[in-house]
Structure 1
Amino acid sequence: MTHLPLKAGLAALALFSLGACSAYAQSVGEQEYMRSCGTCHGVDGTSNTPFSDLLTVAPPDLTTLAANNDGVFPMLQVIHMIDGRSGLRGHGSEMPIWGDRYADDADLAGTYGAELIVRGRVLELAEYLASIQQ
């Protein structure tokens, strides 16, 4: 005997949980963006900020990354650019190496725990950038 109301309820709960997790991740990514990137790239990601004029290399408009890549958000390249520890450096050499900074913040978690925290923060930020594409 199957319990359709129970299965339907569990399915609804799973869908709600996925939506809640997605909304939570976006808000965490947005917070990370405001804390780490907003000063140079602007609150809306278009790099329209008075501070960007003071930089030696102009920061790119982050809302056009997909448009500049045939409509596909370049997730892996963005992750590498944010992390900065792979040798791929954003904006020449002016962009901070966020992977190192995030690792310094997380060093109490131990070597492996710190790396998980770094990767999580970078991924949250990359997911947020994907969500603001024009």
Structure 2
Amino acid sequence: MAGWMGKIFALAAALSISVPAWSQDVESGEEIYMNYCATCHGLDAIGNGPMAGVLVIQPTNLTKLVTSGGEFPTERVVARIDGQEPLVSHGSPMPVYGPFFEGRDATIKTDSGQSIPTSKPIADLVAYLKTLQGQQ
């Protein structure tokens, strides 16, 4: 019996390692934003960071991402950050920080409930960006 139970516990442990992280950490997202995004988007996220003046395309005001229907465009935001939707203004596809944003170790949901696999840093950053909506 002990051998059988040991196998079950080993299987459970193995499965728990591969289970996606569902929680998003707003504080971690704010730290990521300040370290990687504020240079262009500004401390207040309205697109007025110190590098904004040298970019080909001006940074987006990240406080006004919610659609006219009231939904946060989670899928589009994730695609911009992880490089699925490249941006000319960054001089190369996003992210310019390379492997930091890579991976699929977290899953977040859109307002309509669609699951989006992404990295934990992107999930946290998206959580932070959601808190900024309507602030400016």
Give the TM bin, normalised by the shorter chain. 0.5 to 0.7
Superposed CA deviations along residues 90-111 of structure 1, whole A, max 9, x for unmatched, are: 356636522833168xxxxxxx
Q: Partner residue of 1:74?
A: 73
Structure 1 residues 29 and 53, CA gap change in structure 2 (3 angstroms):
same
Structure 1 residues 40 and 96, CA gap change in structure 2 (3 angstroms):
farther
- The equivalent position to 1:101 in structure 2, one of 96, 99, 102, is 99
Shift in Å at residue 70 of structure 1? 2.9
SS in 2 for 1:47: coil
SS in 1 for 2:58: coil
Greater helix percent: which structure? 1
Q: Partner residue of 1:53?
A: 53
Q: Partner residue of 1:90?
A: 87
TM-score (norm 1): 0.63
Greater strand percent: which structure? 2
Q: Identify unmatched segments of 5+ residues in structure 1.
A: 1-20, 105-113
Q: Aligned residue pairs: how many?
A: 100
**How many Å separate the matches in 2 of 1:91 and 1:71?**
28
> Is the CA contact 1:40–1:59 (under 8 Å) kept in the aligned structure 2?
yes
